[in-house]
Amino acid sequence: MPQIPEKIHELTVGQLSARSGAAVSALHFYEAKGLISSRRTTGNQRRYGRDTLRRVAFVRAAQRVGIPLATIRQALAQLPEERTPTNEDWARLSAAWRTELDERIKQLGRLRDHLTDCIGCGCLSLETCVLSNPDDAFGERMAGSRLLPVRNPAPGADQG
């Protein structure tokens, strides 16, 4: 991993990419999403503050454990003056995200168990396949599609 001399306080996008391990396109994406920011030189080149390295490390670590970018951005925005996360910030946020991760792992475990039933089946039935219709709130009470509103029949209309 290339080292950056201490006296350099700003990084080009290439230096930030080389040092952080994030692709240049990922850094542009993070910037477009408001996760990092840069200033422009007179030649319209991006320059990142040195602390952006830590910010990128924070984002990538959070992404690695499956935290959505929107959640990461929210967390960063809540830090005072949008400062770069400290060790304590990471400890606090990762503890809060652990509960979310535990829940997601439980959900994945349930999906994996249902996948076992689907292997070799292929029906994708909305009535019987839990994977093709996992949120079927009506499935326990009635069979078939009942999501369309029931219209009042016209007076005298045959209801057969």
Binding site residues, ligand FES, CB under 6 A: 117-118, 121-125, 128-129, 131
Question: Rounded to the nearest whole angstrom, what is the least distance from the CB of residue 131 to ligand FES in the complex?
Answer: 5
Closest to ligand FES by CB, 101 vs 123, is: 123
Give yes or no for a contact between 11 and 19, defined as CB atoms under 8 angstroms apart.
yes
Give the shortest CB-84-to-ligand FES separation in angstroms.
Answer: 46
CA distance 17 to 107: 35
Spell out the alpha helix ranges (H) of the chain. 13-20, 24-32, 52-64, 69-78, 87-118
- Minimal distance in Å, beta carbon 139 to ligand FES? 13
Contact 73, 34 (CB under 8 A): yes
Between residues 122 and 149, which has the closer beta carbon with respect to ligand FES?
A: 122
Is 122 or 155 the residue whose CB approaches ligand FES more closely? 122
